Amino acid sequence: MYPASFEYASPTSLDQALADLDRFGDDGKVLAGGQSLIPLMKLRLAAPTGLVDINRVGELSDELSQDGGALRIGARVRHKTCERSSLLKGRFATLGDTARQVSDPIVRNSGTVCGSISHADPQGDWGSALTAMNASVVIRSSGGERTLPMSEFLRGPFMTALEANEIVTEVRVPDPGPRAGGTYLKLERKIGDFATVGVAVHVALDNGSVGRAGIALTGVGGTNVRAQAAEQALVGSDGGENAIREAARLAAEAANPRDDHRGSADYKRNVVRVYTERGLRRAIDQARSAQEGA
Ligand SMILES: Cc1cc2nc3c(=O)[nH]c(=O)nc-3n(C[C@H](O)[C@H](O)[C@H](O)COP(=O)(O)OP(=O)(O)OC[C@H]3O[C@@H](n4cnc5c(N)ncnc54)[C@H](O)[C@@H]3O)c2cc1C
């Protein structure tokens, strides 16, 4: 099927893009990689009357950059850029491991990180990775700028805090410190599929004990689920086997999966537990190695 007709704007400045969004009002949409929006339009599940293509807006970066120890992910950064970046190893390995597991190379070539979180698919991988990394989202409209933590940005299935006239300009990931590690483990039925279950973990050590922990889950709730009780159980612990097992138990408790064609709710909850254990072991090992190497 062809999409319903729409007006197409391809601005070259952020001010113009925001003015175009104001002009289109509630029926306008930002177009980034088009990997979620275009299929929806072809199926007529979305029928925006105006599209604002941000791909020629130079102020919206297509590169990852470091800001002190923190990381900035611009609005035009593709999954592929993250997959290949040497920045997303070690302390930021949660993000690098996520990037290479998003769909297939065709989707990764075009799709963007900011587009993924704006789409807010509960099975989107980036929502969990960025929640575990304690990231925040920078949002612009013609009225100004605001910044929201991931937990406030993601509101529910395909729902965010974004207004129709707003653009996500970048995601900021705070400095995890030198002794940190993480990963993203994803169970998929076949390569390129959405997650049956995904678990993002991130750990930062402070004097040998766990100073910060981030754990977030994909595919087991109406949006990416932050496993807060599990995080709290780890912080201050020695990161040993008992602490890991308890955190994994609490992460499984935080999951709210449903029976579907990908598996039963019980099965998915058990995968959350097992993947949280595995992920935390790997993350803590990485963080300890960084400590020894420091
Ligand atoms: C076959 C297939 C398999 C996939 N598998 C996976 C998978 O395994 N895991 C996964 O996480 N994702 C998967 N995806 C989705 C993919 O990651 C998309 O790239 C992503 O969801 C949307 O990014 P995009 O840049 O393509 O956004 P678009 O499709 O251009 O936009 C998506 C939505 O976000 C809005 N938007 C985009 N950018 C901005 C912005 N900067 N500011 C405000 N609003 C914005 C748009 O208006 C639209 O509502 C898959 C997609 C396909 C087609």
**What rounded mean pLDDT belongs to the chain?**
96
Cα(282) to ligand 1 centroid in Å equals 29
Cα(132) to ligand 1 centroid in Å equals 20
Distance CA 133, CA 202 (A): 6
Q: Do 162 and 177 meet the contact criterion of CB atoms below 8 Å apart?
A: no
Beta strand extents in 2-133 (DSSP E only): 7-9, 28-31, 50-53, 64-67, 70-74
Q: Do 46 and 30 meet the contact criterion of CB atoms below 8 Å apart?
A: no
3-state secondary structure (DSSP) of residue 32: coil
Helix, strand, coil percent values for the chain (each to nearest 5): 40, 25, 35
Q: Is 263 left (phi over 0), alpha (psi -120 to 50) or beta?
A: left
261 Cβ contact list (under 8 Å, min separation 6): none
77 in contact with ligand 1, CB cutoff 6 A? no
Place of tokens 């201050």: 236
pLDDT classification of 192: cutoffs 50, 70, 90: confident
Percentage of the residues of the chain whose pLDDT score is greater than 90: 95
Above 60 in pLDDT, residue 151?
A: yes
CA-proximal residue: ligand 1, atom 23 (nearest): 115
Cα(116) to ligand 1 centroid in Å equals 4
- For the CA atoms of the chain, what is the radius of gyration? 19
pLDDT at 293 (0 to 100)? 53
Supply 138's token pair: 């920078």
Distance CA 251, CA 45 (A): 34
b/e map 154-192, b = 16+ CB within 10 Å: beeeeebebeebbbbbbbbbbebeebbbbbbbbbbeeee
Percentage of the residues of the chain whose pLDDT score is greater than 70: 99
pLDDT classification of 126: cutoffs 50, 70, 90: very high
pLDDT at 1 (0 to 100)? 80
**Average confidence (pLDDT) over 74-91:** 96
Q: Do 10 and 56 meet the contact criterion of CB atoms below 8 Å apart?
A: yes
181 in contact with ligand 1, CB cutoff 6 A? no
Cα(35) to ligand 1 centroid in Å equals 5
pLDDT at 294 (0 to 100)? 53
Distance CA 276, CA 251 (A): 7
pLDDT at 292 (0 to 100)? 64
Supply 106's token pair: 């065709």
| DSSP tally for the chain: helices H, then strands E | 11, 14
Best probe residue, ligand 1, of 8, 10, 31, 37 (max atoms within 8 Å of C-beta): 37
Cα(206) to ligand 1 centroid in Å equals 36
Ligand 1 atom, smallest distance to 60 CA: 41
Distance CA 124, CA 211 (A): 27
60 in contact with ligand 1, CB cutoff 6 A? no
Supply 1's token pair: 């099927």
Nearest to 90 by CA among 289, 241, 292: 289
Nearest to 256 by CA among 294, 214, 206, 222: 222
Which amino acid appears at position 226 of this protein? R
pLDDT at 204 (0 to 100)? 97
